[in-house]
Structures are given as structure tokens and as C-alpha cells.
Amino acid sequence: MTKKRRNNGRNKKNRGIVKRVACIFSGKLIPKDKAVVRYVIRNIVETSALRDIQEACAFESYTLPKLYFKNIYSIEAAIHNRIVRVRSKKDRKIRGINKIKIIKKINNSTSF
């Protein structure tokens, strides 16, 4: 039987069972190595109120702390909410950080 992905959609190499984590949208328990993880860094205060708070602050160079979130999604929820996109068979071979460089190189080589 043919394989769709080189890693079978998981990051589990030589491990039997991986701990499960909950998706933030559906609450579904999914293996940690299969989950789509996105880190979100936000200001505690929205940008419209940030200037008002800085003007009213007693300290001149006070920076407000940030909120750090680790969002964990199941594959179904990530595709449905457009956090990740469905890729063609050819594009599925492109992995990792160099994805943007490889795509640019392919586009430049095909156009004359």
C-alpha cells in the first residue's frame, strides 16, 4: 500500500506510545507528536488602549508584560480554521524552514 506521507503524519521515531494533548477548539485528545502547535504572543492591553495607559503611567519607561499562549490544534481543527492548508502531492515533499526558499527557487526556475 502506498504511503501519503514520509512520516505518516507524526513525529514519533522509535517511540511506542506518545502522551495525548487536548485540542483547544474541539477538545479532542490527539497524540502530542501529531498536533499542530502555534505560539501566540500578545499584549495584555489592546493597541487602542495602550497609548492611554502609557500616558497615565507613573513610570516613564515601563513596558507592559505580554501574554504567551501555546495553542494546540488537531489536524481537523487546524485545516478547518485555516491555520494550516492542504498542500498538493508535490508541495508535501517540501519540509521545514527552507520551504519559502525552495518555493521561490521553483517559481524562478519555471518562469523564463
> How far is CA 94 from its chain centroid?
16
- Return the pLDDT at 70: 95
Separation of alpha carbons 90 and 38, rounded Å: 24
Q: Which domain holds residue 40?
A: 20-87
CATH number at residue 82: 3.30.1740.20
pLDDT in tens, 66-110: 999 999 999 999 999 999 999 888 887 777 666 666 667 777 776
Residue 34 lies in a domain: yes
Q: Does any domain span residue 104?
A: no
Average pLDDT, integer, range 19-39: 95
Task: For residue 92, tell me if it sits in a domain.
Answer: no
pTM for this structure?
0.71
Does residue 15 belong to any structural domain of this protein? no
- Percent of the chain whose pLDDT exceeds 70: 90
Cα 26 to Cα 18, 30, 42, 64, 90: the distances in Å are: 20, 11, 23, 32, 30
- Report how many domains make up the chain: 1
Q: Does some domain include residue 30?
A: yes
Residue 44 within any structural domain of the chain: yes
